[in-house]
């Protein structure tokens, strides 16, 4: 299992497990590009920002689970989904257009509530086993 670490002054360090089963190529592209700095802005209960990583569609979808991290295909976006977005049709986060699942945050995502922006560092975490 590979993990990434999200670091920022406002949130400390948060780990997320890469979604290597549903999007192995997307996860590999992200992993190879790390570490990354990304300036995030809020859109409902989503923080998003452009990253300099080109990833092709891989099992893309619009609706995700709370705590997911997605790659927004239309804008090379790194998206942290911690609640409803303006595009949501249920309690689940929804991107405005399809994206790939990148990771799942371990722990409480309510730490992101109320943030209007964030300067985030994304680094490699642990790399265990063959999955």
* Domain-located, residue 130: no
User: pLDDT digits over 48-99, tens only?
Assistant: 999 999 999 999 999 999 999 999 999 999 999 999 999 999 999 999 999 9
- Domain carrying residue 8: 2-123
* Domain-located, residue 39: yes
- What domain count does the chain have? 1
* Domain-located, residue 23: yes
Kindly tell me the sign of the dihedral angle through the C-alpha atoms of 116, 118, 122, 128: negative
User: pLDDT digits over 6-61, tens only?
Assistant: 999 999 999 999 999 999 999 999 999 999 999 999 999 999 999 999 999 999 99
Query: pTM of this prediction?
Result: 0.95
Rounded alpha-carbon distances, angstroms, from residue 97 to 36, 70, 73: 23, 11, 8
* Rg, Å, the chain Cα set: 13
């Amino acid at each position: 299992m590979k993990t990434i670490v999200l670091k920022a002054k406002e949130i400390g360090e948060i780990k997320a497990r890469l979604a290597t089963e549903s999007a192995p190529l997307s996860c590999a592209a992200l992993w190879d590009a790390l570490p990354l700095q990304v300036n995030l802005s809020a859109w409902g209960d989503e923080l998003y920002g452009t990253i300099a990583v080109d990833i092709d569609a891989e099992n893309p979808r619009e609706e995700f689970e709370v705590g997911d991290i997605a790659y927004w295909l239309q804008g090379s976006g790194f998206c942290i989904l911690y609640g409803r977005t303006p595009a949501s049709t249920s309690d689940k986060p929804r991107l405005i257009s399809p994206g790939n699942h990148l990771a799942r945050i371990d722990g409480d995502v309510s730490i992101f509530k109320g943030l209007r922006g964030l300067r985030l560092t994304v680094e490699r975490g642990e790399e265990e086993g063959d999955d």
